[in-house]
Structure 1
Amino acid sequence: MNDVTRSALRLTGEQDLDPVLDRVGEATLVLIGEASHGTHDFYTWRAALTRRLIAEKGFGFVAVEGDWPDCERVNRAVTGDGEDPFDALYAYRRWPAFMWANEEVAEFCRWLRRWNAALPPGERCGFHGLDVYSLWESLRAVRRYAAARLPGRMETVMEALYCFESYGHDPRRYGLETRLVPDSCEEEVVRMLRAVVESAPDDEGGFAARQNAEVVAGAESYYRAMVRGGPASWNIRDVHMADTLDRLAAFHEAKGVVWAHNTHVGDARATDMAAAGMTSLGQLARERHGEDVVLVGFGGYRGTVVAAANWGARAHVMPVPPARPGSLEALLHDALAGERGLFVTPERPRPRWYDEPLGHRAIGVVYRPEREQRGNYVPTVLGDRYDAFIWLDVTEALHPLHAEPWDDVEPETYPSAM
């Protein structure tokens, strides 16, 4: 317990994030997590750290666990003179929209727009989506781009579109039917991706078109793998996010900040995910970029959260009960007497508690507090999973911009809900 107390740094305001900035140093990728998708405090502290990384360390883009087309609308709002970022976020429709259509993200994006207004267009900090789910939205975006800029490639693009149309615009149906019948749209998608990658110019519009084509390819693989169960669909998704992050960094020639759940940001090798055959974005980033990567996790002991009892159900504010005994959260709560704290992982030799496997709470968009003692915890070696950890003992629910659900409730992260 004393080792935990001695390891903790004070955390009362943004100025107390200095040790994290020192740990970042010259790193080019900082991945910042969240212990739940529906907690105000995780979002606001993550935004505070990101503002400092942009202003003091010159980071040039923010990439989030969200859909590419929706986030490109936000990107235009924060880098240009178009609609208010609030309106761009309010237009999110895919369940769970509250992950990004909330007041906390809107506040950050308005700050980002003000920050960018003082910079020339080529130096503005963007906002992009890393995720793989927007099959139809991205396919339509590729069609629009090809019609306007690549007319010679339209036949190839339309072949992919017609193939998916035969499944009724429903990725779930596509995945289920390709499981039963060895027929898929994979070949059409590969041809479309090759055509767009080879033909789209190396400008903003061309990059967006190539990325939408990559999303279609990733989504096609994801939905086929999802219905088969096992770790394959999770890994397809995190590899896609890692590849997208690399493409963004290369295209913009800039340092990037990532916002995603702890289960993606943390190194899977420090959890039981590795034994289950699962990787993570944080692990992949470390494997590819080594010391150029810094991983920051979050945790909390009790409070409230926005989540839903079932997939696609209306999200609402739920209680988060005190963490179960023996967990990382219980250890930190007891050691810090209910205070906030910041931990920067030291080099070995280090206090033993950093290397002890402890249950670490993970709340997704689906949550049932009554099951707290049986689930929701990932066995974690904290010192290997993160480079820094932000501890917020009592937390509050975030503030969605609109009610849930909308009509489109396809099971994007089923069954993990992360």
Structure 2
Amino acid sequence: MQRNEDSKLTRFSHASRRPRCRHYYTDSRVEFASRVHLSAISICLTLLSCTWIAPAVATYPTEARTIGINYGRLGDNLPTASETVTLIKNLGIGRVRIFDHDGPTIKAFAGSGLEFIIGMGNDEIPALAKDASAADAWVAANVVPYYPATNIVYIMVGNELFADQTLAATWLQVVPAIQNIHDSLQNHSLSAIRVSTAVEYSILAVSFPPSKGSFRPDVAASVMTPLLKYLDSTDSYLFVNVYPYFGWSTNSQYIPLDYALFTRNTTFTTDGQYGYANLLDAQLDAMAAAMATVGYPNVRIAISETGWPSVGDSNELGASRSNAQTYNQNLVTHILSSPTRGTPMRPGIFVPTFIFALYNENAKPGATSERNWGLLYPDGTAVYPIDIKSASSATPGGPGGETQGVAGLTENTCDGKPSVLPMSASFFGSLFNLRI
């Protein structure tokens, strides 16, 4: 996941995208037995209940069925912004997200027809939250000169703010900052531009089973509830950075690779009436359940970042060109399926998705994988083949599509339908309360 381009990057490490899976099991046999016992009770309660979350109400504008891309610029050998426009359009991508509000970059996309998202650093939030005039000045400087020539559709107020405990004082300021930017857009007659923020997946305290998804206690009432209230009132998306790669790579002994790569054609795990054949859907539904828990079941979700590294260090399991190609190609097919597939809890609901990332960026710090998330090398050539242009003709039953029962424990749910609970990673994952 990309950070805003300058000071924020040096202060707010890419390591925050590192896996947030919490391993609750230990070497203590007593604690292990206790947790297995408690988890077994939890499984029984889950099997006896029929949790259902209503799909989102279709109050949002019709979204173009196209894929987005995260355009980071942390490299000393990257194509110019104008050259980048051509490369993006040649890929068949329709939406672009940058992590800052660099004027020349925004201007380069004028007349491109591409939907455009601009951002701001987490360090900009306090001033914008405190002073409405600061928000007016920000909009006047960073939006008004470029819109509508550049089709700015969203402003992202910060990125993964809640992953950084050192910025906890800023957490309560994100919604006031969003509101001030929103009000300023209204004052400038720019109401077509919406405002949101991108949250990290670790904002969830519980993510398995998906229907039990819940937010961390330190943000549930204080931040997420008012944020979702705003998003609900403006029909705006909650943007989520979600990486099945990290969920799988840190729990590969429990989660099969095909479940993360969309190559599984049968159900891996069930949750009441819902069956999951791919990890991304389970992650998205856990977020949807958490939103419903605090009273906002109808706010839509957009994926602000997802992807797979093509190269990694020796300890970075699964980082390869083959896996990256498989994940991103199947992701595109899954998201752009016709008719729209959605997720088990929200069937038929389109999820706008931004692949991370456009380029391999050589100036990014950290592990080798951090410099190898791109679809393109800096010279503009493909890291691996990916077909985005024709993916819109994909149909259900493709990667990660139809969910079918597999051998395992079969119980009857309260609606009389069999519920298949495979004796596999999902079963042991529930025992250990793994964060996926």
TM over 0.5: no
Give the structure with the higher percent helix.
1
The two structures have a TM-score, normalised by structure 1, of 0.31
The two structures have a TM-score, normalised by structure 2, of 0.30
